[in-house]
């Protein structure tokens, strides 16, 4: 048995082919072990290669050739065996892994299916039911789970390559027929059709409009019902369709944007690679409402010890009861041990004096937050980082009441904070690079996708949401129903339309913000123009009628009672809208789903261009990651800015101009950046950063 170490990077496939051929020809070689370099078996295909023509030997015949070898071939899996990497291992006769290895077929997350025989070999190895789960979710499994499922033959805590060598030597000369997965039948449950139908409707529901999960189920149906060669033909056909779809490009873009945002940079020139983060071991959370509780759990799961402070006794008692249970549940969900005794509860702000970082999560009210920050500045030791979980208030104003404004940043979590992946890290003009780096690193430890954003009302996510919500309300005034608007958005791929979402989060949240901004409330005249702009008082009137959404059992929809979850259309809302239109002399017209999407989504996208122009976000990837991870933007559409590129910037500009010129639909004035991009020939989204920087240098923005 001779060891051939495989070369890394794009020549991997050629390296494997050459090594296997040498091993076959060499009479001294009785068996073969395929391993990776530097403790990693293979992370799969280089996704960047998908953009151009494939070079080197194709994967499918290469894996077939390995499977056909008449000397035993084992894959020694260390680190990762993902995608094409696991498909290669499935072509081997045996699979031996290190206990820390991770395996999976994540192609579905990239808009593809396991197209190098994975969709046909895996079900033959572990059965249809388990293969459906792994392939349609793309989830990674540990070596222990892979062993249990039957993907692996052996797992070791020691050197996997040494064990694999020993193993293949021990089986040399034994028959290999039963080890060639392509020759085996696919173990299926008796009710195979009903299983496939059930999984199909589940994936359709889970990722509405996404092509890849559907194609994965179709490929597995072929594995269950057709001979291997025909199954492979089906796999090839489906893969070709997916490969050329916009969705695969969008999902691959989303893979990279998630990583690009980690490489943050600020307009000052500070960035991830020239700023030092502090390692936090003790933190405090102030305010134990829904957000505060989730943040405590997210921190505790990283092993950070947390002082959880709530000054209202009743709320504190409830949080002390609920938070440990939340922690246990979440640890279980993530298959982690519950960190022991890391949370201490207190009603006294003085108890935060020894922590290194505080996250304030009190009610979204500036005067209350200012009071808390003043107090924190007096009790915390010098050098403590002070963060606010505000969803849009001025970070600089908070920083101004502390002795060290450089140590103040926003950490905008999304509810539920221990589950949702997005974290906006908001830097004010005085926030230090160290504070930003620390908040970003802390977010990463919590498993968040942190995005560094500038300080402006609503930051990135909520600032873009505002014109989107405005247009949705205007559409109701003009003749649409909440259901029509929601259906168009859900058809586009959002898990929930804007009105269903508003009912879920509570209509009073926005009402309070509008009251604080002087847009509504006692003494404000009930007109359709406020502060010089078109304004729809519809949501305010809903709140005044006590319809706050799910919590009151009534909102834009009706529910079975307070806290009910199933939305049903409500004739009351239809009458309310008709009465409103009559009062304001508005004539309802028929509104198409296309108009709903244009008005809502292009308004949001246009604000995204304004945000890029104002340098509140460093690049389109930042905006797209925020919308995919925090606002339910369908991942298979990449994000709003990517989507704009897919639709065509010229088309977006033309439609914005069209709606803007309509006398009753102002607000949609196209952004200067969008105009300049169109004038420059609509470069692809990957080039926008460079374009913006150049325009800025030449003072065109
Ligand atoms: C016929 C088609 C055949 C096969 C289909 C496929 O194989 S599709 C590809 C399937 N594989 C994957 O989806 C794996 C994707 N990668 C990951 O899940 C993680 O990167 C991984 C391997 C678990 C490592 O995670 P870690 O957190 O350690 O590193 P990070 O994610 O930050 O990645 C480091 C840098 O590597 C780049 N990268 C990772 N995987 C790929 C890839 N498959 N192709 C291209 N580039 C990849 C990643 O972008 C990072 O780059 P950087 O420039 O440092 O940001």
Question: What does the pLDDT look like over 495-515, one tens digit per residue?
Answer: 999 999 999 999 998 998 899
pLDDT digits (tens, 9 = 90+) for 25-53: 899 999 999 999 889 999 999 898 888 77
Asked whether residue 22 carries a pLDDT value surpassing 50, the answer given is yes
Ramachandran area for residue 80 (φ above 0: left; ψ -120 to 50: alpha; else beta): beta
Average pLDDT over residues 608-618: 97
> Ligand 1 centroid vs 259 CA: distance in angstroms?
10
For ligand 1, mutation pick of 47, 236, 257 (most atoms within 8 Å of CB): 47
**Strand intervals (E) in 160-304:** 282-286
Asked whether residue 116 carries a pLDDT value surpassing 50, the answer given is yes
What was the pLDDT predicted at 661? 83
Average pLDDT over residues 631-636: 97
For ligand 1, mutation pick of 51, 64, 82 (most atoms within 8 Å of CB): 82
Asked whether residue 3 carries a pLDDT value surpassing 90, the answer given is no
What was the pLDDT predicted at 276? 97
> Ligand 1 centroid vs 615 CA: distance in angstroms?
29
Task: Determine the Cα–Cα distance for residues 26 and 5; give it in Å rounded to an integer.
Answer: 16
For residue 270, give Cα distances in angstroms to 50, 265, 404, 437, 610.
33, 6, 18, 9, 23
Asked whether residue 551 carries a pLDDT value surpassing 80, the answer given is yes
User: Which residue, chain included where needed, has tokens 């247009």?
Assistant: 471
**Residue closest by Cα to atom 27 of ligand 1:** 259
Asked whether residue 418 carries a pLDDT value surpassing 90, the answer given is yes
For ligand 1, mutation pick of 12, 44, 55, 122 (most atoms within 8 Å of CB): 44
Is 235 one of the annotated active-site residues of the chain?
A: no
Catalytic pick among 87, 356, 595, 598: 87
- Please state the atom number of ligand 1 nearest to the C-alpha of residue 48: 45
The tokens for 568 are 């049903």
Asked whether residue 1 carries a pLDDT value surpassing 50, the answer given is no
Long-range Cβ contacts of 326-335 (<8 Å, 24+ apart):
326/293, 326/294, 326/297, 326/418, 327/296, 327/297, 327/300, 327/301, 330/297, 330/301, 330/418, 330/419, 331/301, 334/301
Q: What's the CATH fold of domain 9-244?
A: 2-enoyl-CoA Hydratase; Chain A, domain 1 (3.90.226)
Is 67 one of the annotated active-site residues of the chain?
A: no
What was the pLDDT predicted at 308? 98
Average pLDDT over residues 385-404: 96
- Name the pTM for this structure: 0.94
Mean pLDDT of the chain: 94
Q: Please tell me the least confidently modeled range out of 167-171, 272-276, 337-341, 579-583.
A: 337-341
Name the DSSP letter for residue 523: T
The hierarchical CATH code for the domain 282-458 is: 3.40.50.720
The interface predicted TM-score of the complex, written ipTM, equals 0.98
Which part of the chain is CATH 3.90.226.10?
9-244
Give the pocket of ligand 1 (CB within 6 Å). 43-48, 59, 80, 82-84, 106-107, 110, 115-116, 256, 259
The tokens for 6 are 């495989």
Share of the chain above pLDDT 90, in %: 87
**Residue closest by Cα to atom 21 of ligand 1:** 43
Which part of the chain is CATH 1.10.1040.10?
480-583, 594-615+622-697
**Strand intervals (E) in 24-158:** 32-35, 73-77, 80-82, 94-98, 102-104, 141-142, 154-156
**At the top level of CATH, which class does the domain 480-583 belong to?**
mainly alpha
What was the pLDDT predicted at 8? 35
Tell me the CATH number of domain 594-615+622-697, given options 1.20.120.430, 1.10.3720.10, 1.10.1040.10, 1.20.810.10: 1.10.1040.10
- Please state the atom number of ligand 1 nearest to the C-alpha of residue 138: 13
| HSE, side-chain direction, 13 A CA sphere, residue 101 | 39
Crossing angle of helices 313-333 and 290-301, in 10° steps, is 40
Crossing angle of helices 603-613 and 461-478, in 10° steps, is 150
Q: Measuring CA to CA, which residue among 42, 79, 87 is closest to residue 60?
A: 87
Which part of the chain is CATH 3.40.50.720?
282-458
Let me know: does 386 contact 380? Beta carbons within 8 Å.
yes
What was the pLDDT predicted at 516? 85
Task: Determine the Cα–Cα distance for residues 697 and 701; give it in Å rounded to an integer.
Answer: 9
Torsion sign over Cα 429, 432, 438, 441: positive
Average pLDDT over residues 528-544: 93
Name the DSSP letter for residue 265: B
Q: Measuring CA to CA, which residue among 507, 388, 505 is closest to residue 455?
A: 388
> Ligand 1 centroid vs 43 CA: distance in angstroms?
6
What was the pLDDT predicted at 7? 33
Let me know: does 568 contact 465? Beta carbons within 8 Å.
no
**Residue closest by Cα to atom 50 of ligand 1:** 259
**Residue closest by Cα to atom 41 of ligand 1:** 46
What was the pLDDT predicted at 2? 39
- Coil, helix or strand for 413? strand
Asked whether residue 5 carries a pLDDT value surpassing 70, the answer given is no
Q: Measuring CA to CA, which residue among 62, 185, 74 is closest to residue 121?
A: 185
> Ligand 1 centroid vs 45 CA: distance in angstroms?
8
The answer for residues whose C-beta is within 8 angstroms of residue 629's C-beta and 6 or more apart is 258, 420, 421, 422, 449
What was the pLDDT predicted at 666? 64
The tokens for 658 are 């069209």
Phi and psi at residue 311, to the nearest 5°: -85, -20
Task: Determine the Cα–Cα distance for residues 74 and 90; give it in Å rounded to an integer.
Answer: 10
Catalytic pick among 78, 107, 360, 598: 107
Name the DSSP letter for residue 365: -
> Ligand 1 centroid vs 444 CA: distance in angstroms?
17
- Please state the atom number of ligand 1 nearest to the C-alpha of residue 105: 10
> Ligand 1 centroid vs 15 CA: distance in angstroms?
20
What was the pLDDT predicted at 227? 97
> Ligand 1 centroid vs 500 CA: distance in angstroms?
36
pLDDT digits (tens, 9 = 90+) for 293-313: 999 999 999 999 999 999 999
Task: Determine the Cα–Cα distance for residues 395 and 432; give it in Å rounded to an integer.
Answer: 13
What was the pLDDT predicted at 590? 96
């Amino acid at each position: 048995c001779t060891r051939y170490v495989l070369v890394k990077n794009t020549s991997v496939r050629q390296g494997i082919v050459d090594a296997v051929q040498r091993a076959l020809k060499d009479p001294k070689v009785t068996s073969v072990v395929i391993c990776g370099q530097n403790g990693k078996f293979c992370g799969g295909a280089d996704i960047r290669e998908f953009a151009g023509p494939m070079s080197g030997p194709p994967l499918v015949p290469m894996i077939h050739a390995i499977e056909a070898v008449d000397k035993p071939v084992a894959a020694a899996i260390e680190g990762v065996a993902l995608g094409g990497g696991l498909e290669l291992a499935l072509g081997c006769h045996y699979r031996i892994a290190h206990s820390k290895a991770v395996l999976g077929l994540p192609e579905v997350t990239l808009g593809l299916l396991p197209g190098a025989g994975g969709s046909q070999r895996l079900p033959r190895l572990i059965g249809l039911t388990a293969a459906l789960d792994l392939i349609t979710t793309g989830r990674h499994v540990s070596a222990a789970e892979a062993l249990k499922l039957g993907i692996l033959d052996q797992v070791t805590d020691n050197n996997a390559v040494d064990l694999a060598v020993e193993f293949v030597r021990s089986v040399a000369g034994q028959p290999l027929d039963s080890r060639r997965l392509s020759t085996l039948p696919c173990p299926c449950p008796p009710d195979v059709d009903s299983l496939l139908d059930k999984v199909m409707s589940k994936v359709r529901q889970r990722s509405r409009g996404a092509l890849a999960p559907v194609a994965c189920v179709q490929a597995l149906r072929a594995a269950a019902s057709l001979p291997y060669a025909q199954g492979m033909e089906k796999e090839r056909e489906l893969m070709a369709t997916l490969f050329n779809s916009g969705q695969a490009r969008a999902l691959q873009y989303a893979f990279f944007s998630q990583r690009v945002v980690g490489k943050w940079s600020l307009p000052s020139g500070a960035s991830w690679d020239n700023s030092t983060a502090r390692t936090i071991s003790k933190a405090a959370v102030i305010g134990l409402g829904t957000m505060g509780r989730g943040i405590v759990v997210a921190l505790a799961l990283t092993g950070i010890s947390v002082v959880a402070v709530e000054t209202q006794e009743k709320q504190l008692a409830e949080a002390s009861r609920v938070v440990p249970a939340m922690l246990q549940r979440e640890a279980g969900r993530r298959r982690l041990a519950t960190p022991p005794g890391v949370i201490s509860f207190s009603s006294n702000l003085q108890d935060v004096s020894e922590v290194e970082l505080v996250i304030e999560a009190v009610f979204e009210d500036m005067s209350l937050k200012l009071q808390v920050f003043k107090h924190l500045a007096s009790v915390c030791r010098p050098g403590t980082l002070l963060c606010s979980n505000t969803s849009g208030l001025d970070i600089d104003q908070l920083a101004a009441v502390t002795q060290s404004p450089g140590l103040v940043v926003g950490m905008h979590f999304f509810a539920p904070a221990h589950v949702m992946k997005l974290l906006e890290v908001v830097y004010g003009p005085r926030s230090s690079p160290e504070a930003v780096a620390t908040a970003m690193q802390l977010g990463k430890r919590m498993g968040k996708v942190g995005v560094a954003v500038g300080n402006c009302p609503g930051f990135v996510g909520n600032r873009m949401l505002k014109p989107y919500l405005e247009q949705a309300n205007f559409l109701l005034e003009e003749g649409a129903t909440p259901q029509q608007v929601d259906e168009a958005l859900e058809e586009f791929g959002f898990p929930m339309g804007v009105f269903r979402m508003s009912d879920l989060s509570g209509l009073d949240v926005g009402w309070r913000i509008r009251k604080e901004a002087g847009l509504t409330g006692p003494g404000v005249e009930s007109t359709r123009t406020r502060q010089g702009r078109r304004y729809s008082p519809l949501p305010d009137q809903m709140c005044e009628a006590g319809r706050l959404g799910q919590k009151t059992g009534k909102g834009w929809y009706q529910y079975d009672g307070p806290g009910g979850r199933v939305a049903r259309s409500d004739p009351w809302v239809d009458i309310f809208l008709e009465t409103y239109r009559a009062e304001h002399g508005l004539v309802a017209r028929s509104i198409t789903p296309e108009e709903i999407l244009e008005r809502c989504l292009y308004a949001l996208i246009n604000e995204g261009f304004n945000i890029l122009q104002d340098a509140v976000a460093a690049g389109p990837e930042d905006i797209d990651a925020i919308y995919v991870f925090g606002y339910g933007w369908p991942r298979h559409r990449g994000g709003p800015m990517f989507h704009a590129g897919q639709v065509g910037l010229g088309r977006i500009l033309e439609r914005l101009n069209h709606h803007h010129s309509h006398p009753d639909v102002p607000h949609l004035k196209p952004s200067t950046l969008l105009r300049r991009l169109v004038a420059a020939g609509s470069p692809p989204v990957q080039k926008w950063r460079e374009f913006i920087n150049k325009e800025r240098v030449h003072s065109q923005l």
